[in-house]
Every structure is written in C-alpha cells, then in structure tokens.
Amino acid sequence: MFTHETPAFLLQKKRRRAATRALKWFRREKSDDDIQEEIHEMEAHVRNMQTNATKV
C-alpha cells in the first residue's frame, strides 16, 4: 500500500516543493493561494517546533 508523505514531514526535511505538491494532493479543492498560505503557516509551525525542541 502506498501512502503520501505528509506536508509537515516534508517541510521538516526542507522539501518545500514536495510539501506543496503533497498538500495540493490532500486538499484537491483549494486554490493555489490557499495552498501557499497553508504551507506558509505550516513552515512557521515547523520552525517553532524545531526551535522549542532545541530548548529542552
């Protein structure tokens, strides 16, 4: 069985283009602007989690 990698996982691996493609696949009905906005929010969340992980 094949499963898609999640956009968040791909962003953690610094693979923004692949994350955008994956999010488009998951959110088929959303516009490109909506996809880009969601990717931007996810990037901020990933950065925040990485920053907080180093403080522990």
- Which tens digits make up the pLDDT trace of 1-56? 567 799 999 999 999 999 999 999 999 999 999 999 999 999 999 999 988 887 75
In this prediction the pTM is 0.81
String of DSSP letters for the chain: ---PPPHHHHHHTT-HHHHHHHHHHHTTTS-HHHHHHHHHHHHHHHHHHHHHHHT-
pLDDT for 21 equals 95
Position 4 scores a pLDDT of: 73
Where exactly are the structural domains of the chain?
Answer: 7-54
Residue 2 is predicted with a pLDDT of 65
